[in-house]
Amino acid sequence: METHGEELIEINGTVETIIYQNEQNGYTVCDLSLNDAELITAVGIMPYLCEGETIQASGKWTSHPQFGRQFQIEVYEKQLPATETAIMKYLASGAIKGIGRAMAKKIVDKYGLDTFDVLENNPEWLSEISGISPKKAREAGESFKAQFGMRTVMMFCRDYFGPSTSVKIYQRWGSGAVDIIKRNPYVLCDEIGGVGFEKADAVARSLGISRSSRERIGAGIKFVLTYNENQNGHTYLPMDKLIDTSCRLLGCEKETAEDELGALVMKGRLVLEKIDGRKCIYTKRMHDAEQYIARKLDIIEETEHKVDAMNISALIEKMQIENDIVYAKLQKKAIIDSINNGVFVLTGGPGTGKTTISKAIIRIFESMGFKVALCAPTGRAAKRMSEATGREAKTIHRMLETQRNGNDELIFLRNENDPLDDDVIIVDESSMIDVFLMEALLKATRAKTRIIFIGDASQLPPVGPGYVFRDIISSERYNTVELTHIFRQARQSLIVTNAHAVNHGEHIDLTSKDGDFFYLPRTDDMQTLQTVVDLCKKRLPKSYGASIFNGIQVITPSRKGECGTEALCAALQAAINPQAKNLKELKRQNTVFREGDKIMQVKNNYAVEWQKDGVDGMGIFNGDIGVILEIDYQKEEVTIDFEGRIARYDFAAFDEVELAYAITVHKSQGSEYPIVIIPLYRYTPKLLTRNLLYTAITRAQQMVILVGDGQVADAMVDNNRQTKRYTGLEYILRRYEDE
């Protein structure tokens, strides 16, 4: 869609037909009758717009690939319909709750041009009309005020935010939003997603609020904490670091920040903890979450879970005979400990037998009549767990029955009031679980339920805040078995042996040409990129029948750089799915999406509906990979196939999707792919680390191909830099042990 010119054009018109409207974000397509009777198509964020309404709007003419000339509305203002015919059409459209076509005629027949005045100021008068009860009249008045309260909010916000953010603000606070913002604009960065401190600060400046106001200082301090939670994974910050960072952000004196921090702690909005003798500051929400995790794990562990040792030995012996297997000493210990403890942790790298033990544990518990639930943090991890064990595994979100409430907040239907009824919960890829997801899982877990955490402690930390799996292990509070022996079959795989070598700080032998691990040296980054494209487009499909869609995944350390995801995705898209007349396109920001493109969902979306084999479901999650099947210009809709789940996205909601011909190592966590290609290129040492390379290698099932500068691989192995995460769970768990 092209935009012609930069000057905004003003128009006035009446809404004749609503062609499409997204209730969540207000994106609307409508036929608009202009004052000279010309009928045009208008598109834009116009929440609660109804047929019969008159609007004054500013925007630009655009050219749609399929539907031609349209008016893209940037800013608009509702105006009350001025004639009885327009009033009648507006009411008949269903804009006012409880009023349909027949009732609209009765109201306009009685009150004529005074209809809106009655609705706003004397709605009880409507009960004089046959068929309208006093309750219905009151609801109609409230509905009318809500319609035009939105107008006030949109007008106030248009100088600061785009229409979609204005919609969020109205949905959060209703017609009182303007008063709330004027009292304290910093509530915006606390409660409205996508509004950071800088934007809220700009609103405050325009309202004349002092830079030294307590509201500003307090909001800045809280912003530093929440920013570090979301971007750096910290669950708290040391008080001295928090004060220094806040002062730089706010441009205030240290004493001012310390005074306001003390006040926030006194009010209970922030929490002060001493961790290893150092003063540390939490948000209340984060502090509550870590405290709950520690307390609930303690309760589960203290609940009696012992089973007669003779019975366990007999069951293990039976398992060995039935499966023609002899468990190693450490494997037997893992099986026994998982049965005898409320909380059990199994960790180890690839090829050390985690799956073998998992299957044994499941079968033994089932033979004892226990109900076993399997889960993992991501859809791909859950799918892999199902394939490995032969049992159904769900995502943790699905198991907890995730929904969004009226405020678009995430809630779990399974919780302390309605816990899971399983006797055993086995959690795979536990290293990916952040603080809030662990808290939700434990809230739905009964005290008498055994919970088993399985994962690889050497993987990258979770994307979200915390380092739960590592902290649980480091606390030494719970029975943990670490598998280190690589079994004979696994030792035949260079993927496994090289992964362990990297984890132990040993350089990879890049000269080997056999097996499942290959290195293709290239002298510069552009050659590396071209080789990756050639592998994906020609060489691997020709040799192995694999394609970028069903077998090959390019995994790279960063989004940026010559071989970052942005450069690789653009090059791979151009080579594998180039522009063609029969392929429709959609441009978002600087990315062109095309029918046939490989894409990834980059944000959990619990509201997306999908169908698979005639079964309906909801939720597409961060890391899910799919292919664009169709871009429908008429419906403003994109159809995507997520490995058999067919979902439809509105154009306006397509900012949650990215091209996935190449993905970052962080985005690959919890997933495995038949063939993994890893470009080796020089970039910031912050990202070129040992555990990043280890994580990338362990994503491959059948083959790893390194392409580029071999010295980069050596440098990554040598760089055992671990990004510092301030987390308090280990300390809290140790404290529980001492009490």
Tell me if 167 sits within 8 A of 129, measured CB to CB: no
Average pLDDT (233-256) is 96
CB neighbour class for 127 (10 Å; exposed up to 12, middle 13-18, buried from 19): middle
Q: How does residue 206 score in pLDDT terms, banded at 50, 70 and 90?
A: very high
pTM: 0.80
Cα 140 to its chain centre, rounded Å, is: 38
Give the model's pLDDT for residue 148. Answer: 67
Beta strand pairing call for 645-650 and 450-455: unpaired
pLDDT at 630 over 70: yes
Give the model's pLDDT for residue 143. Answer: 79
Q: How does residue 82 score in pLDDT terms, banded at 50, 70 and 90?
A: confident
Give the model's pLDDT for residue 68. Answer: 78
Beta strand pairing call for 237-238 and 278-283: antiparallel
**pLDDT tens per residue, range 376-426:** 998 888 988 999 999 999 999 989 998 776 666 678 999 999 999 999 999
pLDDT at 325 over 60: yes
Give the model's pLDDT for residue 130. Answer: 85
Q: Which of 60-74, 80-94, 209-223, 650-664 has the highest mean pLDDT?
A: 209-223
Q: Which of 237-241, 348-352, 602-606 has the highest mean pLDDT?
A: 237-241
Ranges 12-21, 369-378, 704-713: which has the least confidence: 12-21
Tell me if 95 sits within 8 A of 53, measured CB to CB: yes
CA distance 416 to 442: 9
CA distance 13 to 33: 5
**One-character DSSP codes across 629-680:** EEEETTTTEEEEEETTEEEEEEGGGGGGEEE-SEEEHHHHTT--EEEEEEEE
Give the model's pLDDT for residue 5. Answer: 45
DSSP state of 352: S
Give the model's pLDDT for residue 1. Answer: 41
DSSP state of 536: I
More confidently predicted of 52 and 433: 433
Ranges 48-62, 237-251, 704-718: which has the least confidence: 48-62
More confidently predicted of 57 and 697: 697
Q: How does residue 590 score in pLDDT terms, banded at 50, 70 and 90?
A: confident
Nearest to 221 by CA among 267, 258, 193: 258
Q: How does residue 282 score in pLDDT terms, banded at 50, 70 and 90?
A: very high
**pLDDT tens per residue, range 657-714:** 999 999 999 999 888 899 999 999 988 888 889 999 999 999 999 999 999 999 999 9
CA distance 56 to 34: 10
Tell me if 451 sits within 8 A of 303, measured CB to CB: no
pLDDT at 3 over 50: no
CA distance 516 to 534: 19
Mean pLDDT across the chain, nearest whole number?
88
Give the model's pLDDT for residue 475. Answer: 95
pLDDT at 320 over 90: no
DSSP state of 535: I
CA distance 154 to 146: 12
pLDDT at 572 over 70: yes
With tokens 């509070």, the residue in question is: 477
**% of the chain beyond a pLDDT of 90:** 55
Q: How does residue 488 score in pLDDT terms, banded at 50, 70 and 90?
A: low
Beta bridge partners of 598: 627
pLDDT at 22 over 60: yes
Both tokens of 240, joined, read 């001295």
Tell me if 385 sits within 8 A of 521, measured CB to CB: no
pLDDT at 719 over 50: yes
Tell me if 678 sits within 8 A of 705, measured CB to CB: yes
Q: CB neighbours of 31 closer than 8 A, spacing ≥ 6?
A: 15, 16, 17, 19, 39, 40, 41, 42
DSSP three-state, residue 697: helix
Q: CB neighbours of 647 closer than 8 A, spacing ≥ 6?
A: 608, 609, 610, 620, 626, 639, 640
**pLDDT tens per residue, range 511-556:** 887 789 999 999 899 999 999 999 999 999 999 998 999 899 999 9
* Element holding 495 (H helix, E strand): helix 494-503
**pLDDT tens per residue, range 265-274:** 999 999 999 9
